[in-house]
Amino acid sequence: MSADNGPLIIGFLCNWCSYAGADMAGTSRIAYPANIRIIRVPCSGRVDPLLIVKCFEEGADAVLVAGCHPGDCHYNEGNYYSRRRFALLRALLDFMGIEKERFQVKWVSASEGKRFAKIITEFTEDMTKLGARKAS
């Protein structure tokens, strides 16, 4: 969004795994780029495609949805639904001119602080290479 601060990434993290994973990264003092703005949601299944499209409309460079690994959902099956939903949304966004790379879905468990930091670091690097979105 802004050339100085690098890409703006919005992250929707599920309360039970990924948000706790991000917390774990923090308490373990693992540094990751501040380009991600985290929004805590009850479940990755709660993330309505409207939220994703709205982020892009309002000028986000990339969006991340992170949830529990399949089989680990706190609500048993929320992430299975979101997996199907976002497989379709990703194809639609790509078709409409938002690169596939800009919308990522990742599974991060509560103990994977290191993995969370790695995902954010790599995602930020990729988005910096890809550059800001020309639109909006």
Partner 1 sequence: MVADFTQQIRDKAKELLEKGTVECVIGYETGSDGFSARPAFIYESAEVERLIFDNTCSHNLVKYLLNKKGKPTAVIVKGCDSRALNLLLSEKQIDRDNIFIIGVVCPGVVEWGWNNHSDQLQIRCNWCRQHNPVIYDFLVGEPVTEGPPDDFADIAAMETKSTEEREAFWREQAEHCVRCYACRQACPGCYCIDCFVEQLDPEWVGIRIAPEENLMWNTIRAFHLAGRCISCNECERVCPVNIPLSLLNRRMEREVLGLFDYRAGMSEDAVAPLITFMKDEKLGIGE
Task: Please say which residue, 34 or 54, places its beta carbon nearer to partner 1.
Answer: 54
**Number of residues in the chain:** 136
Q: Looking at beta carbons only, is 3 or 50 nearer to partner 1?
A: 50
Q: Which is nearer to partner 1, 34 or 94 (CB)?
A: 94
- What is the smallest separation between the CB atom of 41 and partner 1, expressed in angstroms? 14
Shortest distance in whole angstroms from residue 109 CB to partner 1: 12
What six digits make up the tokens of 31? 């540094």
The alpha carbon of residue 12 and the mean position of all alpha carbons in its chain are separated, in whole angstroms, by 5
CB of 70 to partner 1, least distance (A): 7
Binding site for partner 1 (CB under 8 A): 49-50, 53-54, 57, 67, 70-71, 77, 79-81, 83-99, 105-107, 134-136
